[in-house]
Each structure stands twice: as C-alpha cells, then as structure tokens.
C-alpha cells in the first residue's frame, strides 16, 4: 500500500514539474514576441512627435476607438521631434514585443520604408495615418492635403474680399504634406488674377519660425492683406509678429490643422480661420481600421475630408476641445 502511494505521489510530482516547465516555456515565447500579436489586445500608436497638439488629438481618437473594441493603446514618439532614426528604432523595438498591431504617423515617407518592410516581414498588422510612405504594405488613412491647401487659400481669399497681396508660409521642405498643401494653395491663388502672391517661404511647421519669418516679411513688404500658413503653429507665430507690429487689423491670417490653440485664437479675435484636417477622426478611424485588420477584415484606404473653420462654425470646435465660448 505504501509502495503504491509513493508511486502515485511520484507520478503526480513529475506531472506537476512538466506542467510548470511547459508554462515557463510558453511565457518566455510570448515575452520575446513573434510579431503575430495573437491573443493580445494591445495596439501601439507611434507618432512623429508629441509637441504638436494635433498628434494628441489623434491619440485621443485612437484611444476612444480602441476602448470600444476592448483594446488598449500604448503611445510612443521620438524624444527629439520628427527624428526618423529614433522613430525607426522605436518601430523595431516593438517587433520584440507581443502586440496586436501598429498605428503609425511617419516622419519621412522614404526613410521609414525599411522599418515598414520589417513590420511586414513580422506579419504585424499595420495602419499608417496622415502622410503615405513610398513603399511597404499597409492600410492607409489620411487627408487630401492638396484639398487642405485649397480650402485654406479659398478661405483667405474670401476673407480679404477676393483681391489683395498675400503671403504663403510653407512647411518643412521635402515633407510630403508640406508640398501638397503648397500645391493646393498656390492653385487657388494663381487662378485668381486679383491675388498677388508676394512670397512663399518656409517656416518649417514651427511657431517660433513662423514668428521670426513673419517679422522679416513685415519689414520687407509694407502692403500685406493676408497670410496663409500650412499649419496652425506657423499661423499663430505669424499672428504674434503681426500683433507686435500693431498690424493685426490690417492683415488676415488663416492657418491649417484646427488645433486647440488656433480655435482659441479664432474665438479671441486673433486668427481669422483654419482648416479642420480631422485629426481626432484620423486616430479614431486609423485605430478602428487597424483593429478590423487584426480581426481578419479586408480594409481599404480611407481619405478624410478637410473643412474650413472660422467664427461662423466655431461652436462645434469649442465644444470638441471643451472650451468656453468667451
């Protein structure tokens, strides 16, 4: 009887050891990550920076969509804004983790391609939002930036009465979105014989650069009726320079992006308008399409419409940002 009992205990002990060993091996495999994302409900949102408010809006949209489907979002960005090398390293690091998929806002449409190809090789579902890379396999959600330029320039032309001298503040040279917005805006200006484009000059999508560039332009051109900037950060910087020069009643400024600071400025009588490029929707639809891809659906690319924003429809955006009307 005692021999049988010892034999049973030995068998149970061996079985327990084998079960524990199998469990350890299974856990170790998951921690190393295969890129498949099977079983996990975590998606990673990698953006180009977290200094521009638009990317925070995109993050909010992604988090809202993920929550609806029972997923979580981890947000990552380069510590140095718009640094492709650092973003590439972040992307590669995620391939060693057990994640379900990746939502990516790229820095450079060509420089990011090798990293995208690695994501493809790992078999990880990938959605890219905003600018479109030149290679790789992915689902894309973005805006028609040429249309954004057209909408912004049209708004400016209307606000200066259809005639006058205008300036164009461009984004960073070589950046896809900057080139497309410029193309759209210039097509509107050039189609109007009563509009004279005094100069088109880069301010690198930065508020500080928008201010310093505008200070120089105010000295160079005594007769300016309007300014269209390819993003709100440059527009806000330009407006500060105009206000400091005491010319805010002479010059109309229209931006592009509809970030929270631009909405506040329009409310307070600063900027005259901006363009809603649907940043919240970009994150919401991007995450939704990523999750649908993870769960086996075939998803097509999506283009979001761009809308003009000014005092006539500002209430909607004040509510979106939870801002007071006054």
Largest alpha-carbon pair distance within the chain?
Answer: 108
Strands of the sheet with 252-254, listed across from one edge: 195-202, 164-170, 226-229, 252-254
CB of 116 closer than 8 Å to CB of 236:
no
Tens-level pLDDT at each residue, the chain (326 residues): 444 434 433 443 444 443 433 333 333 333 344 444 458 999 999 999 998 889 999 999 999 999 999 999 999 999 999 999 999 999 999 999 999 999 999 999 999 999 999 999 999 999 999 999 999 999 999 999 999 999 999 999 999 999 999 999 999 998 999 999 999 999 999 999 999 999 999 999 999 999 999 999 999 999 999 999 999 999 999 999 999 999 999 999 999 999 999 999 999 999 999 999 999 999 999 999 999 999 999 999 999 999 999 999 999 999 999 999 97
CA dihedral over 204, 188, 260, 87, signed as positive or negative = negative
Tell me the domains of the chain and their CATH numbers. Answer: 42-143+279-304 (3.40.50.2300), 145-276 (3.40.50.2300)
Q: DSSP labels for 233-263?
A: HHHHHHHHHHHHTT-TTT-EEE-SB--HHHH
**Tens digit of each residue's pLDDT (9 = 90 or more) over 36-53:** 445 899 999 999 999 888
CA distance 81 to 92: 18
Strands (E), the chain: 42-46, 72-76, 101-105, 126-129, 139-143, 164-170, 195-202, 226-229, 252-254, 274-276, 302-304, 307-309
Opening angle at CA 106, ends 102 and 109, nearest 5 = 125
**Tens digit of each residue's pLDDT (9 = 90 or more) over 190-243:** 999 999 999 999 999 999 999 999 999 999 999 999 999 999 999 999 999 999
Residue 39 tokens read as 């079983």
Nearest to 156 by CA among 197, 206, 118: 197
CA distance 281 to 56: 12
Can you give the pTM of this predicted structure? 0.82
């Amino acid at each position: 009887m005692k021999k049988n009992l010892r034999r049973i205990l030995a068998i149970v002990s061996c079985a327990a050891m084998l079960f524990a060993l199998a469990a350890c091996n299974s856990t170790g495999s998951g921690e190393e990550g295969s890129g498949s994302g099977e079983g996990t409900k975590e998606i990673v949102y990698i953006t180009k920076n977290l200094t521009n408010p638009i990317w925070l809006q995109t993050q909010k949209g992604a988090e809202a969509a993920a929550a609806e489907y029972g997923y979580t979002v981890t947000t990552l960005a380069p510590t140095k804004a718009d640094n492709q090398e650092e973003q590439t390293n972040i992307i590669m690091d995620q391939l060693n983790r057990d994640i379900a998929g990746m939502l990516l806002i790229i820095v450079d449409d060509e420089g990011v391609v090798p990293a995208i190809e690695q994501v493809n090789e790992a078999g990880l579902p990938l959605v890219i939002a905003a600018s479109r890379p030149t290679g790789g396999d992915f689902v894309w959600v973005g805006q028609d930036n040429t249309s954004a330029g057209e909408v912004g320039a049209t708004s400016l032309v209307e606000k200066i009465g259809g005639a006058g001298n205008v300036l164009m503040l461009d984004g960073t040279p070589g950046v896809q979105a900057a080139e497309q917005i410029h193309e759209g805006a210039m097509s509107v200006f050039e189609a109007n014989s009563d509009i004279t484009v005094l100069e088109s000059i880069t301010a690198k999508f930065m508020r500080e650069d928008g201010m310093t560039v505008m200070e120089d332009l105010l000295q160079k051109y005594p007769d300016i009726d309007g300014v269209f900037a390819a993003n709100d950060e440059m527009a806000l910087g330009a407006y500060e320079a105009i206000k400091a020069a005491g010319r805010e009643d002479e010059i109309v400024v229209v931006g592009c992006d509809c970030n929270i600071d631009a909405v506040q400025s329009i409310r307070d009588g600063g900027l005259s308008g901006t363009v809603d490029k649907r940043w919240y929707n970009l994150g919401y639809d991007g995450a939704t399409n990523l999750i649908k891809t993870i769960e086996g659906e075939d998803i097509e690319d999506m283009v979001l419409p761009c809308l003009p924003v000014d005092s006539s429809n500002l209430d909607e955006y004040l509510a979106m940002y939870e801002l007071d009307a006054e």
